[in-house]
Amino acid sequence: MQSKLDAIKTQAINEINQSKSSKDIEDIKVKYLGKKSDLSQTLKDVGTLTAQERPFVGKLVNLVKVAIEESIEKRYQDIAAQEQERQLISEKIDVTLPGKKIKRGTKHPLTQILEEIVDIFKSLGYSVAEGPEIETDFYNFEALNIPKDHPSREMHDTFYLESEYLLRTHTSPVQIHTMMNQKPPIKIIAPGRVYRRDADASHSPVFHQVEGLYVDHNVTFSDLKGTLEIFIKKMFGITKKVRLRPSYFPFTEPSAEVDVECVICNGNGCRLCKNTGWLEILGSGMVDPNVYDMVNYDKKQYTGFAFGMGLERIAMLKYGIDNIKLFYDNDVRFLKQF
């Protein structure tokens, strides 16, 4: 029995000394100290010995067990120290190396254009007004001189909701809200998201508008023209020519479309401007007296003008972008150019 125990001890210690990793140590521990090990089986066999042999053999088994445990513990500590040293070497950081450059995001091109527009009009004394995106038929159409049977409603192709509610088709309702809650003078711009049933390379069912309103005593069409010329030249360049063409909008009279000299060909004619040398950028006009009736303004006492532009259109013209969907694809290759 003693020779068997000595053999188990010698073999176990040899394997322990030759182990290379923590896993090797765990496997050896199970092999020699586990419930199914030879040492455990020998301890069970002690019960079959005589009363004189039991104390002697039991003591031998415990001595072998303690020797193996001590050897395992010592080897485990040595291997753990070696593994830690190798880990420290592999994870070593050279603190003298330059740091990794963190890529910073930039403002979306539409946000940049909107901030530029707001800055221009604030410099002219305008303030920013906001309103709800879900509107009633009254604020979106009727108060703007667009009754239920008016043909221009078809041009807006509206997203209707329940109970006379709809997604606003322009930011003009903000003008109505402002006039109904404030007496002149009023000098505001109303930027915001609007919705129409339209989608192609130059249109989106969700887009942004910036509308302006100025109401006071003795506001004239000349004031409108001068304001828009200042805006356009600050946005597209001082040398750009501007022209106004007669047009029609239900809530302004007289009305005018505003064109800027083509930003691509400088008025010489190209594919973008359809060889006209001009690009349409916004609509405008003097506030129709019928609108004043809706907000209880004295139309004999006050005059004013309004204008509206598509934010995406301004950005497309300024940056030479030919597809409105690029603003919403979130393609980093596109966005990082701005």
311 and 264 housed in the same domain: yes
In a domain, 50, yes or no: yes
Strands 242-249 and 206-216: unpaired
Euclidean distance between CA atoms 114 and 107, whole angstroms = 11
Beta strand 206-216 pairing with 303-310: antiparallel
- The answer to the question of residue 253 being in a domain is yes
Beta strands in the chain (DSSP E): 127-128, 134-136, 165-167, 186-195, 206-216, 242-249, 252-261, 278-287, 303-310
Domain presence at residue 267 = yes
For position 318, which CATH number holds? Answer: 3.30.930.10
Pair 6, 75 in one domain: yes
257/285 Cα distance (integer angstroms): 8
Are 51 and 115 members of one domain?
A: no
Residue 104, in any domain of the structure = no
Clarify whether residues 113 and 250 are in a common domain: yes
**Cβ-based burial of 191 (10 A; exposed 0-12, middle 13-18, buried ≥19):** buried
Burial class (CB in 10 A: 0-12, 13-18, 19+), 223: middle
Q: Which of 58, 90, 122 is the last residue of a domain?
A: 90
Helix axes 22-33, 38-45, angle to 10 degrees: 20
**Cβ–Cβ contacts within 10 Å for residue 190, how many?**
24
> Is residue 236, in this structure, part of any structural domain at all?
yes
Q: Which helix (H) or strand (E) element contains residue 34?
A: none
**Residue-level pLDDT, tens digit, the chain, 338 residues:** 677 777 777 887 888 888 888 888 888 888 877 777 776 777 666 666 666 666 776 777 778 778 888 888 888 888 888 888 888 888 888 888 888 888 888 889 999 999 999 999 999 999 999 999 999 989 999 999 988 877 767 766 788 888 789 999 999 999 999 999 999 999 999 999 999 887 665 567 888 999 999 999 999 999 999 999 999 999 998 988 999 999 999 899 999 999 998 887 888 888 778 888 898 899 999 999 999 999 999 999 999 999 999 999 899 888 888 788 888 888 888 888 88
Task: State the pLDDT at residue 125.
Answer: 95
Angle between helices 53-90 and 2-18 (to 10 degrees): 0
Tell me, yes or no, whether 119 and 77 share the same domain.
Answer: no
- For residues 86 and 113, state if they share a domain: no
Is residue 44 a part of any domain in this protein?
Answer: yes
Question: Would you say 90 and 163 are in contact if contact means Cβ atoms under 8 Å apart?
Answer: no
57 and 126 share one domain? no
Q: Tell me if 323 is assigned to some domain.
A: yes
What is the residue-wise DSSP string for 184-213? SPEEEEEEEEEE-S--BTTB-SEEEEEEEE
Domain with 50, as residue range(s), is 2-90
The per-residue pLDDT for 110 is 92
> Is 97 contained in some domain?
no
Predicted confidence at residue 306, as pLDDT, reads 96
Same-domain status, 187 and 274: yes
For residues 151 and 207, membership in a common domain is answered with yes
pTM of the full structure:
0.67
For residue 52, the model assigns a pLDDT of 67
Question: Would you state the pLDDT for residue 75?
Answer: 84
- Answer yes or no: do 27 and 122 share one domain: no
Q: ω into residue 151 within 30 of 0, thus cis? A: no
DSSP 3-state helix, strand, coil percentages of the chain (rounded to 5)? 45, 20, 35
The pLDDT assigned to 156 comes to 62
Which pLDDT does position 49 carry in this prediction?
64
Number of domains in the chain: 2
Identify whether residues 86 and 167 lie together within a single domain: no
| Alpha-carbon distances, residue 181 vs 86, 184, 297 (angstroms) | 74, 10, 11
Tokens of residue 124, six digits: 């002219």
Instruction: Please indicate, yes or no, whether residues 171 and 232 belong to a single structural domain of this protein.
Output: yes
210 near 114, Cβ under 8 Å? yes
Q: Are 265 and 179 in contact (CB under 8 A)?
A: no
